Structure 1
Amino acid sequence: MKIDLTGQVAIVTGAGGGLGREYALLLARRGAKVVVNDLGGGRDGRGGGNAMADAVVAQIEAAGGTAMANGANVTDFDQVREMVAKAKEAWGRVDILVNNAGILRDRTFAKLDLDDFRAVLEVHLMGSTNCTKAVWDTMREQAYGRIVLTTSSSGLYGNFGQSHYGAAKLGLVGLMNTLRLEGAKYGVRINCLAPSAATRMTEDIMDEATFEALSPASVAPGVLALCSQQAPDGIVMCAGAGSFERAYITLTKGVFVGSGEDAAERLLAQFDTMSDRDGEVVPAAGPEQSIYEAKVFQAAAKERLPADG
């Protein structure tokens, strides 16, 4: 069944170029009215202007769609709330939020200024949190919402020179894992997307062939799927060059070493067994770790009880 977003309202941040632009264009082609948000600055977050967002709006309107440009800074909650209010004033609701705005200030941790660390966290983590908070009550009240957070392989797996970026991006997975639980009964579904794409954020680190294959357009179908009525809830989807994968945070069966003076030494001796992925699980929620560990303890305690005699 073809995904039809007619009558829905979408906000896409960082939509003036690259991935965000492709997301906005695709959502509009499928019938959504789109707020094209972009601060218009450089990839390091400095500067600003409306030209990029205006150009995307013009492209959507030329194709018969409906859109408005917005220059709110996602790190400013008041500006974000005003953006949401304008969307509701014009179109009555907000159904979709794609948190895509981001900046890069890559440096090794040894050379990194903490002001840059904070700036990256502010845009990626707090910016997404601000936008999500601004639409949360609306989506709960209308009993429907689809939210996409942009995570990254840098957060999931690490990347040299991106300690701040990786910390922010994995933080968004943590945000998703709780909000999926809190939004479920209100029809609000939230997911993470980890894109690999050739954009102005990555153009100087890829060869030409890779740059062409990893087009933003090849990632956009993943966003459309996560914004659809049939969207999953609480997943991490990786995407690039038309390939889509799912990332998991798993829990191994582990080992029981108990406590005592030599517990750490016994743990190191069984480190490979603890790390064995055979039989690993994906907990449905955080408390399942404690529940599992309590059961392991209880089983071990039961084995130590003297036999009935």
Structure 2
Amino acid sequence: MSIRYDGKVAIVTGSGQGLGRCHAIELAKRGAKVVVNDLGGAADGTGGSSEAAKAVVAEIEAAGGEAIANGANVAKYDEVEAMVKAAMDQWGRVDILVNNAGILRDKSFAKGSLDDFRMVLDVHLMGSINCTKAVWDIMRDQAYGRIVMTTSSSGLYGNFGQTNYGSAKMGVIGAMNTLSQEGAKYNIKVNALAPTAGTRMTEGLIPEAAFDLLTPETVTPAVLYMVSEDAPARTVIAAGAGCYSVVKIHETQGAYLAPEDQSPEGIAANWDAICNTEGEAIPQAGFEQTVKFTGMAAAGLGIELK
């Protein structure tokens, strides 16, 4: 089975270099028409130039593909709207959105400024929301859409010096979870990529031999799968060095505590039972937790819920 995107239009943010460039080029190779979006700033978000995006467009065109360059700042909704309008004016639809644009302002929480924190949130979290909002009605009306958020192990598990980045990267998982529910009946599938790649954002942070294994080309296949016709939904795929895994958030079954034990002391005394992984599950919606807890409480109290 060959996965292709003939007749599909894709927007890839932050695609002037690194992972985004690879995503855009590979989508174009498989038939997609691509908006190559890149503000052209430094890794910390300063500066700006359209040259990187134009170079990727030239590369796509030289290989026989179709692409346009766009320099919208994803943190500014009016610029994002203009970018989506350009895609619609050019090709009449938007089928795929890959939210890849990002910046780094790494510092320990004690030393980092709130301005830097807000800027990282604005680009990673609000940038993803802005772009998704701008294409949502289009995808809903055409009953087709594939959206990829870019998360990170820093958000899923934490990483020293990246409270701002980690907060934003976990935020996009919350967006993915609910957007997947809201988009399901419109054939809009929303997933997330947790990449490990050797890019300018990781250069100098990992050994050179490991850096050489972590090419963007080993990550992009996960994106190509997540934006395909038969893509999964509400799935976090981790990818790097040719390795792929799925990240899942589990919740233990937990334990019901009698009224007299519903205290911090009671929780401490029953901590092993609360943490027991036997019977743990992967909730598909937040309300499932409410149903589970009320059911457990009713059983513990010997009452019937009607």
Q: TM-score of the superposition, structure 2-length normalised?
A: 0.98
Question: For 2:138, what is the secondary structure of its paired residue?
Answer: helix
Deviation at 1:101, TM superposition (A): 0.1
Cα displacement (A) at 1:179: 0.4
The one-letter amino acid of 1:54's match is: K
Q: Trace 1:180-195 onto structure 2 (pairs within 5 A).
A: 180-195=180-195
- Residue 306 of structure 1 aligns with which residue? none
SS in 2 for 1:7: coil
Q: How does 1:21-40 map to 2 (within 5 A)?
A: 21-40=21-40
Q: Which amino acid aligns with 1:93?
A: R
Q: Structure 1: how far apart are the matches of 2:9 and 2:112? A: 39
Q: Distance in 2 between matches of 1:264 and 1:104?
A: 39
1:184-263 paired onto structure 2 within 5 Å: 184-260=184-260, 263=263
Q: Offset of 1:259 from its aligned partner?
A: 3.5
Q: Is the Cα–Cα contact under 8 Å of residues 125 and 169 in structure 2 kept in the other structure?
A: yes
Q: Residues 220-261 of structure 1, C-alpha deviation per residue, up to 9 Å, x if partnerless? A: 000000010010000111111111111111110111113347
4+ residue stretches of structure 1 with deviation over 4 A?
none
Q: Structure 1 residue 269: deviation in Å?
A: 1.4
- Paired residues for 1:1-309 under 5 Å: 1-260=1-260, 263-302=263-302
Larger mean Cα displacement after TM superposition, 203-212 or 71-80: 203-212
Query: Distance in 1 between the 2:258 and 2:63 partners?
Result: 65
Q: State the distance in 2 between where 1:89 and 1:262 align.
A: 60
Q: Partners in 2 of 1:80 and 1:114 — Cα distance?
A: 25
CA deviations 1:106-148 (Å, max 9, x no partner) are 0000001000000000000000000000000000000000000
Query: Deviations 1:62-116 (Å, cap 9, x if unpaired)?
Result: 0000000000000110110110011011001000000000000100000010000
Q: Secondary structure at the match of 2:302?
A: helix
The secondary structure found in structure 1 opposite 2:42 is: coil
Distance 2:44 2:279 in 1: 43
Aligned-partner SS, 1:257: coil
In structure 2, C-alpha distance between the alignment counterparts of 1:259 and 1:100, rounded to whole Å: 48
Amino acid in structure 1 at the alignment position of 2:259: S
**Could you say what secondary structure the match of 1:205 adopts?**
coil
Give the number of aligned pairs.
Answer: 304
Unaligned runs of 5+ in 1: 304-309
Mapped partners of 1:190, 1:258: distance in 2: 40
Shift of residue 207, structure 1, vs aligned partner: 1.3
- How big is the alpha-carbon RMSD for the aligned residues of Structure 1 and Structure 2? 1.2
Q: Distance in 2 between matches of 1:260 and 1:278?
A: 25
Deviations 1:24-46 (A, max 9, x none): 01000000000000000000000
Whole-Å separation in 2 of the counterparts to 1:272 and 1:193: 33
Shift of 1:262: 5.9
Using the alignment, how far apart are the partners of 1:126 and 1:299 within structure 2? 43
What is the percent sequence identity of the aligned residues? 57
